[in-house]
Amino acid sequence: MQSPKRKIASSQWILAAAIGTVLVLVLSFGLDQWRHYRVEMAQAERATRGAAVILAEHTALTFDAVGDAVRAVRQLRLDALATGEPPAASHELLKALDDGSPVFRALAWIDKDGNRLASSLHADPPPINIAGLDHFATLRDREPDRETLYVAAPKRSKLLDQWIWMLPASLPVTGPDGAFAGIAGGIIDPGYLSRVYASIDLGSSAVVTLFRRDGMILAREPFDSDLLGETLAGRPFITDIVVQAPVGTFHDVGPDDGAERVIGYAVSPGDGFIVSVALRHDEVLAQFYAGLWEGMARLALIVLVLAVGTWFLVRQVGRREALALELQDSEVRFRDFAAASADWFWETDEEHRLKWISDTLGMKSGLSQQARVGRTIWEIVDPDSVSQAAAEDHRRALLEHLPFQGFCYARRTAQGRRWMMASGMPMFDRQGRFRGYRGSSSDITEQRRAETRLHEAIEAFPGDFMLFDPQGRLVFHNRHAERNMQAIGQPPQRGDTMEAILRRHVAAGALPDAARDPEGWIAWRLRQHRAPASRILVRFNRGVAEVIERRTEDGGAMVLRFDVTEQEAAREALQAAREAADAANRAKSDFLASMSHELRTPLNAIIGFGQLLQMNKPGTLTPSQLEHCDIIVRSGGHLLNLVDDVLDLSGIEAGGLALSLGPADVGALLAVAVATIAPAADDAGIAIDPVPALDVGEVLADRQRLLQILINLLSNAIKYNRPGGSVRLFAAMTDRGSVRIEVTDTGIGIQPADVDRLFVPFQRLGAEFSKIPGTGIGLALCKRLVEMMDGRIGVESRPDSGSTFWVELPLAGVQDRPAAVAVGRRGGSRTAAGHFSLLYVEDNPINRGLVGHILETLPQVTVHNADHGADGLDLARTLQPDIIVLDLNLPDMNGFEVLRQLQADRATAALPVIALTASAMPDDVRRGLRAGFSDYLTKPLDVGGFLAAIDAALAKRPGPQAAK
């Protein structure tokens, strides 16, 4: 294949040749014309030069004759001088000389003073003196040459009463004494010379000029009076040229018209005059120019014809080239298509014998080209691979010369049986005669194998498979589907619609769901069928089938149906079991909750009366009765704790426990917990290491519940310690944005195998067989609470050497957490909501310390203390606290009295007052509440209850809750 570049160059070559031809033509034409020009100009030069030579000779002859005549006139004068004859007689002599000469106008004698003595024109000439004229003076003074004829400048003079141009030509006369005796001369008629010059026909622009040797113009043809006597100054003056050659030509520009001229000149023999003959270039070259224009017109015509011809040729060639390129491109394109396609191409003759196969065949099918050329399709086909009907169809198509498509057959090759698919178009010549087929074939063996594998897979599928075409007709189904539908009496047929199949099922009663409203059910089922994808359960005969349907890419649908009767039964059984378990669990929680409630009421009475008995006057009870009383109160307390814990745990499990989240100061809470637990530690002889100043900031937690957790851990650390053991507290911020609190004891430790059961309710890990009191609920409760607060709890322990229980809680105020979140039904805590001030009137410093510690856990509280009722009243008036906590047994007055006085004073009447007392009898409580205490709390102080009472009282206080 030639490169397109070279092809395009051929039209460029044509263009270049055409341009070259035009250049040669123009050049040769130019040269030719230049030669013509030169010839014309040389001819003109020769002509002017020749004319100048002839005219110069003629002029010289004329002036020779004039010289002879003037010499004769002088001789006459000399004769007269010698004879003394009067001048009057001279007229006749002069007249005789003048007559018959066409040259002269007159002849005359002039004396030495310039007076005219005689004239050929007048017998008695009027006196004229020419002493002032230049030629007289010139000749008088011209010594010693007295023989050279002097031709003076042309003059205009009056002669016989007529103004005419004349050319004086004179000789001096020398008297006998040898002195100047005047001049003898003639007046030449310049018109004579003009006529002579005009007699040579040189053309209309010819100018003949006669110059004196010094350059003065003596005569001119055509006559021009302005130029006569002039010397043409400022021009390449003729006299300068003449110095170089006596005969010659040159070119000059006309002084008056600016036209170029060729000028021929010649010096007259005797060197006296110069004659020039000038011809205008335009006249000289008139013929040349005429020829030039004609030639140029002819040339232009030739160039035009050449240009048009070239353009046409280039266009034609260009088109051919483009066509050839296009053809080449399309050939390459089709060759590429053929090479890239999975098909190969072939041609058969009229008898269906392969006569050409594309060279891609071998590459694609591993079949040899040669092996097939010359054979018919029937010699190639494996007869088993084509059904009789298909073979018949194909044979008919070939016979009738019809196009055919997708004819599939197999042939045996070295690699085994291979499947082919062929399509062809009949070819006809111009006369419409059949010439054979042209077509393409491809190897579809892999496709066939994939189809077979797919069929096998579908057959192996343990359910029904049905495929519908975009028109909704069944095109394929597996044997499973066939068997299934056989069971209802009618197997599926190709071309069946989904609706027809459904209706057959309904009619056979195979679809119990459709029994009630068959049409409605079929409509619903068809909607599922038409959806892009669906998955439904359908009751089928006595079983359940799962039906999965998908739209195929071509708009058809694929339906899968398999029996899930057993799975459904299992799932339903499982569901029922789960529901039963859930119900039982709920019942257990409900039972525990209601039992706990029921137990609390009598327990309160038992503990309350027990405490009442303990507080009875000394001596009323015997020591052993007091001891029994003590046991009743402690056992009651233990039982109450258990009931409370169970209530909490069941509350959490039933999802009913609410937390009040807010910032909680870990250091302060630890101090409260330690203070609360201190008496128990003392009793058990366990030392609690002084809490170091822990400044670990605030965690986001429910303070009350966190305190409960800490007390629980501390209480365990004491309970499961050894005599003389110790408990250590630790808290620190972690790099995970949380605070870790650790309670470490030196106790019995926990077996690694038991660790997993630690946080399971009612698991005491053997402690139930010891004397250590407990319920096994504490840690389970702690774990639930910590997790509800987004924290973690865990333990590290070594048997016999001690345990470290740790709790990790998120830091309050960490950016991505809410600063305070209220969880559950109870709502936000008022104590967390803002500043408030509290007045605590109590004489017992231990109690003051405990309350102080509890209040330190609140963020913004100001606590004032008074140890007497009177002081309390004063402070209440002056400080106007938000809340007053009042002990009822004060040294100076009864708490009821203090309340009365507070209520009596307008300044303090509205302040909420909480009673905090050891008088725990229900009657006392009722009485206190009636008296107007906003809450009545009993000792030992329940921290949670105390904080809740403060919250409630703050809610009731008058005016804004702003800081005091």
Contacts with ligand ADP, residue ranges (CB under 6 A): 716-717, 720, 745, 747-750, 758, 764-765, 767, 774-780, 803
Q: How far is the CB of 764 from ligand ADP (least distance, A)?
A: 3
What is the token pair recorded at 749? Answer: 């430790």
CA distance 690 to 677: 13
Q: How far is the CB of 741 from ligand ADP (least distance, A)?
A: 14
Q: How far is the CB of 714 from ligand ADP (least distance, A)?
A: 9
- Measured from the CB atom, the residue of 64 and 754 that comes closer to ligand ADP is 754
Q: Do 918 and 928 touch, CB atoms closer than 8 A?
A: no
Q: How far is the CB of 888 from ligand ADP (least distance, A)?
A: 34
Q: How far is the CB of 684 from ligand ADP (least distance, A)?
A: 13
- Measured from the CB atom, the residue of 686 and 920 that comes closer to ligand ADP is 686
Does residue 472 come out as left (phi exceeding 0), alpha (psi in the -120 to 50 range) or beta?
left
Pairing of β 687-688 and β 726-733: parallel
Q: How far is the CB of 807 from ligand ADP (least distance, A)?
A: 13
**How many Cβ atoms from other residues are within 10 Å of residue 19's Cβ?**
13
Dihedral sign computed on CA atoms, order 914, 919, 925, 926:
negative
Q: Compute CA distances 860 → 288, 637, 688, 863, whole Å.
A: 129, 33, 28, 10
Q: How far is the CB of 927 from ligand ADP (least distance, A)?
A: 36
Q: How far is the CB of 757 from ligand ADP (least distance, A)?
A: 8
CA distance 169 to 187: 6
Nearest to 73, CA basis, from 62, 60, 87:
87
- Measured from the CB atom, the residue of 181 and 758 that comes closer to ligand ADP is 758
- Measured from the CB atom, the residue of 473 and 638 that comes closer to ligand ADP is 638
Q: How far is the CB of 756 from ligand ADP (least distance, A)?
A: 12
**How many Cβ atoms from other residues are within 10 Å of residue 292's Cβ?**
16
The radius of gyration of the chain's CA atoms, rounded to the nearest angstrom, is: 76
Q: Is 63 exposed, middle or buried (0-12, 13-18, 19+ CB in 10 A)?
A: buried
Q: Do 812 and 663 touch, CB atoms closer than 8 A?
A: yes
Sheet of 726-733: strands edge to edge?
A: 687-688, 726-733, 738-745, 802-810, 792-798
Q: How far is the CB of 585 from ligand ADP (least distance, A)?
A: 21
Q: How far is the CB of 771 from ligand ADP (least distance, A)?
A: 12
- Measured from the CB atom, the residue of 36 and 638 that comes closer to ligand ADP is 638
- Measured from the CB atom, the residue of 343 and 645 that comes closer to ligand ADP is 645
Q: How far is the CB of 728 from ligand ADP (least distance, A)?
A: 12
- Measured from the CB atom, the residue of 663 and 773 that comes closer to ligand ADP is 773
Q: How far is the CB of 545 from ligand ADP (least distance, A)?
A: 53
Pairing of β 662-665 and β 260-267: unpaired
Q: How far is the CB of 722 from ligand ADP (least distance, A)?
A: 10
Half-sphere exposure of 415 (CA within 13 A, CB side): 11
CA distance 123 to 94: 10
CA distance 865 to 844: 11
- Measured from the CB atom, the residue of 698 and 745 that comes closer to ligand ADP is 745
Pairing of β 416-428 and β 434-443: antiparallel
- Measured from the CB atom, the residue of 153 and 765 that comes closer to ligand ADP is 765
CA distance 550 to 26: 86
Contacts of 940 (CB under 8 A, 6+ apart): none
CA distance 439 to 426: 9
- Measured from the CB atom, the residue of 761 and 859 that comes closer to ligand ADP is 761
- Measured from the CB atom, the residue of 639 and 823 that comes closer to ligand ADP is 639
Q: What is the DSSP letter of 531?
A: S
Q: How far is the CB of 754 from ligand ADP (least distance, A)?
A: 8
What is the token pair recorded at 381? Answer: 């086909």
CA distance 753 to 797: 11
Q: Is 675 exposed, middle or buried (0-12, 13-18, 19+ CB in 10 A)?
A: middle
Residue nearest to ligand ADP (CB): 774
- Measured from the CB atom, the residue of 264 and 802 that comes closer to ligand ADP is 802
Q: Do 888 and 847 touch, CB atoms closer than 8 A?
A: no
User: Peptide bond preceding 86: is omega within 30 degrees of 0, i.e. cis?
Assistant: no
- Measured from the CB atom, the residue of 210 and 782 that comes closer to ligand ADP is 782
- Measured from the CB atom, the residue of 262 and 709 that comes closer to ligand ADP is 709
In the beta sheet, which residues pair with residue 347? 356, 438
**How many Cβ atoms from other residues are within 10 Å of residue 130's Cβ?**
19
- Measured from the CB atom, the residue of 564 and 780 that comes closer to ligand ADP is 780
- Measured from the CB atom, the residue of 263 and 647 that comes closer to ligand ADP is 647
Give the E-state strand segments of 717-814 in sequence order: 726-733, 738-745, 792-798, 802-810
DSSP string, 264-300: EEEEPTTS-EEEEEEEEHHHHTHHHHHHHHHHHHHHH
Q: How far is the CB of 647 from ligand ADP (least distance, A)?
A: 15
CA distance 834 to 882: 11
Q: How far is the CB of 630 from ligand ADP (least distance, A)?
A: 21
Contacts of 184 (CB under 8 A, 6+ apart): 70, 73, 74, 76, 77, 107, 108, 109, 110, 170, 171, 173
- Measured from the CB atom, the residue of 767 and 921 that comes closer to ligand ADP is 767
- Measured from the CB atom, the residue of 186 and 749 that comes closer to ligand ADP is 749
Q: How far is the CB of 788 from ligand ADP (least distance, A)?
A: 17
User: Peptide bond preceding 922: is omega within 30 degrees of 0, i.e. cis?
Assistant: no
